Amino acid sequence: MAIGLIIIGDEILSGKRSDKHFSKVVELLTARGLQLDWAEIIGDDPARITATLSRTMASKDIVFCCGGIGATPDDHTRQCAAAAMNVDLELHPEAKVLIQRRITQTAEAAGQEVDLNTADNLHRLKMGEFPKGAQIIPNSFNLIPGFSVFNHYFVPGFPVMAEPMITWVLDTHYSHLFHQHERAEKSVLVFEIAESLLTPMMEQLEADFPLIKVFSLPSVGNHQIRRHIELGVKGDPAQVEQAFAVLEQGLQKFNAEYVAA
């Protein structure tokens, strides 16, 4: 079962806003011994959103989807999720209660009378229209909930809301997956050597130690450090130790200059 992330919004693709979801989701997963397997950023295009969700819903992946669940014309995620499932949107009864509670709290804080039947307050209820059969995701920031269908979890595009909501999902539904697989990582910085020269050694390491992955991250260097490659292994802790020892032996055969990363 893989874990994926979908980030929705024209403002991310245009550069008007900088994405903050990716790094935070990676942080939340890492703290629980989990890892992100894939991520996609897509714009506010209903056809593309629907096609993406149709594809990911056909998998067994756990998917977090950030953005587009509001009730303005550029918010399409709720409708697209319903289209991908071939079901209708319907006002979730618990979401209705929470949204009306938020409306009431906001009005009372401003010293205003509350009329839940005004046009704007009725429109706000659209934020609680989810695909038929959806479950809500509580929002500790302002009560307006997200929703889940199957193994997909839809939260707002605001990181201040999305972070606690994703945390709730992980801790409520997936705690049995936490820290199931120990992982380790070790690497060195190798200076002034061609990556192609090291490739056969890297391939052999993965063949000899099937529970690890080898990674190679070249850098052109800067005024503080010369051109180098961060070369390392990650995965099963026992095999990481063994593979790293072999990696160092291989570098010594090349007379390579390297230091711990």
pLDDT digits (tens, 9 = 90+) for 61-101: 999 999 999 999 999 999 999 999 999 999 999 999 999 99
pLDDT band at 46 (very low <50, low <70, confident <90, very high): very high
Domains and CATH numbers, the chain: 3-177 (3.40.980.10), 184-260 (3.30.70.2860)
pLDDT at 181 over 90: no
Percent of residues, the chain, with pLDDT higher than 90: 97
Q: What DSSP letter does each residue of 180-238 carry, written as one string? A: -S--EEEEEEEES--HHHHHHHHHHHHHH-TTEEEEEEEE---SSS-SEEEEEEEESHH
Asked if residue 109 has pLDDT above 90, the reply is yes
Is 90 exceeded by the pLDDT of residue 2? Answer: yes
Q: Give residue-wise pLDDT tens across range 113-166.
A: 999 999 999 999 999 999 999 999 999 999 999 999 999 999 999 999 999 999
Nearest residue to 156 via CA among 2, 4, 3, 9: 9
Q: What is the dihedral of CA 50, 53, 57, 63, to 10 degrees?
A: -160
Mean pLDDT of the chain: 96
Round to whole Å and give the CA distance between 56 and 52. Answer: 6
* Per-residue confidence (pLDDT) for residue 1, from 0 to 100: 79
Mean pLDDT confidence for 239-260: 96
- Band of pLDDT at residue 225, cut at 50, 70 and 90: very high
What is d(CA 53, CA 238) in angstroms, rounded to the nearest whole number?
A: 38
